[in-house]
Amino acid sequence: MNTVRWGLLSTANINRRIIPAIADSQRGKVVAVASRDDETAQAYAAKWEIPHAFGSYDAMLTSDLIDAVYIGLPNHLHAEWSIRAMSKGLHVLCEKPFALSVEEVDQMIAASQRNNCVLAEAFMYRHHPQMVIAGEWAHGGRLGDICVVRSVFNFTLQIQHNIRLNPEYGGGSLWDVGVYPVSLAQFIMGGPPRWVSGFQRTGETGVDETFAGILHYAGDRIAQISSSFRTPFYTTAEVIGTQGRLTLNRPFVVLDEERKMTFHPRDGEPIEIPVPNEELYLGEVEDMHTAILDGTPSYLTLDETRDHIRTVTALYQAARTNKVIQLD
């Protein structure tokens, strides 16, 4: 096998970003799409020039036409369909948030081991050169000792009937976009926090429309994260150390023309840090291809994903109970 044959599990909006990335990668091809509805699948396949369309998810999984699936389902279906796909021997790239509980993550990891399948969370921003460079700055000592990571991901959710507003689907701003600041904090701090506290504004829909959290790490390092569906689009990240701080104005949604990463040293003028342009979704796809075709371990490990989900569920527990939640 020298090309990965991909099947898209659903006609989700987010597919529009993954289809061009798979085409650009040279080692993969989208060969099939499945929808709950046959007409939807046929129309989608025609629009995106996908050779095969299936009117049920199961039909695609048992078709023998694909090697891997991309799961862009609502959050509450990620674990179930990842496990179903792996039980058919298919590799899985599953959208963030990977799952809604640590128990689900463990079941997914067990299924990947049992069936010898590559399994990864589609956290595209972690693969982009910008984040690799930010990690080198933070971990290479140039900022001094890291004291604080601050990060925000907000936007206005205008559509009323959206999977993000349904509590039963794993809706909520933390599950949707707050997971990015949480993941960034874990990446920079090198592991999960020791304890967390969290606060949420619950909307009429029953999901957190705004969330803010404080995460406390070993060595008395702190992260502040927040997310919202209620404000104009705003995202930022700042890594603050004893020798200076690193600021990123587009940490997660890397638009090349607007992106800026800057080092503000303790003394002297701010320094712009150059970042190579790269399509945002390419890295996660190429990582899957090297894992499947060359047997290379995934860049984003399942341990990191597991710790990340554990932290997010602890944040929700903290907000629900109004208590500090201990993780270690």
Ligand X SMILES: NC(=O)c1ccc[n+]([C@@H]2O[C@H](COP(=O)([O-])OP(=O)(O)OC[C@H]3O[C@@H](n4cnc5c(N)ncnc54)[C@H](OP(=O)(O)O)[C@@H]3O)[C@@H](O)[C@H]2O)c1
- By CB under 6 A, is residue 305 in contact with ligand X? no
The stretch near ligand X (CB under 6 A) out of 6-14, 104-112, 183-191, 200-208 is 6-14
Q: Which of residues 154-193 bind ligand X (CB under 6 A)?
A: 163, 176
Are the C-beta atoms of residues 92 and 120 closer than 8 Å to each other?
yes
- By CB under 6 A, is residue 5 in contact with ligand X? no
* Other Cβ atoms within 10 Å of 242 Cβ, number: 11
* Other Cβ atoms within 10 Å of 159 Cβ, number: 8
- By CB under 6 A, is residue 20 in contact with ligand X? no
Q: Identify the residue whose tokens are 């799961």.
A: 71
Cβ nearer to ligand X, comparing 67 with 176: 176
Question: What angle do helix axes 129-139 and 179-189 make, rounded to 10 degrees?
Answer: 40
Are the C-beta atoms of residues 104 and 278 closer than 8 Å to each other?
no
Cα 90 off chain centre by? 20
- Identify residue 166 by its one-letter amino acid code: N
Cβ at position 242, least distance to ligand X in Å: 34
Near ligand X by CB under 6 A: residue from 3, 12, 88, 109: 12
Cβ at position 235, least distance to ligand X in Å: 12
Q: Which of residues 267-296 bind ligand X (CB under 6 A)?
A: none
The stretch near ligand X (CB under 6 A) out of 8-16, 205-213, 260-268, 319-327 is 8-16
**Ramachandran quadrant class, 295 (left: phi over 0; alpha: psi -120 to 50; beta: rest):** left
Q: Which of residues 74-103 bind ligand X (CB under 6 A)?
A: 74-75, 77, 95-96
- By CB under 6 A, is residue 73 in contact with ligand X? yes
Cβ at position 219, least distance to ligand X in Å: 31
Are the C-beta atoms of residues 188 and 146 closer than 8 Å to each other?
yes
Cβ nearer to ligand X, comparing 123 with 263: 123
- By CB under 6 A, is residue 8 in contact with ligand X? no
Cβ at position 163, least distance to ligand X in Å: 5
The stretch near ligand X (CB under 6 A) out of 66-74, 146-154, 189-197, 294-302 is 66-74
Cβ nearer to ligand X, comparing 12 with 59: 12
Question: What angle do helix axes 78-87 and 102-115 make, rounded to 10 degrees?
Answer: 10
Near ligand X by CB under 6 A: residue from 6, 7, 11, 307: 11
Cβ nearer to ligand X, comparing 95 with 286: 95
3-class state of residue 13 by DSSP: coil
Q: Which of residues 112-151 bind ligand X (CB under 6 A)?
A: 122, 124
Q: Identify the residue whose tokens are 């029953």.
A: 206
3-class state of residue 263 by DSSP: strand
Are the C-beta atoms of residues 196 and 215 closer than 8 Å to each other?
yes
Near ligand X by CB under 6 A: residue from 40, 42, 101, 224: 40
Distance CA 84, CA 233 (A): 36
Cβ at position 134, least distance to ligand X in Å: 18
The stretch near ligand X (CB under 6 A) out of 71-79, 136-144, 306-314, 320-328 is 71-79
The DSSP result for 218-248, as a single string, is TTTEEEEEEEESEEEEEEEEEEEETTEEEEE
* Residues at the interface with ligand X (CB under 6 A): 10-14, 35-37, 40, 72-75, 77, 95-96, 122, 124, 163, 176
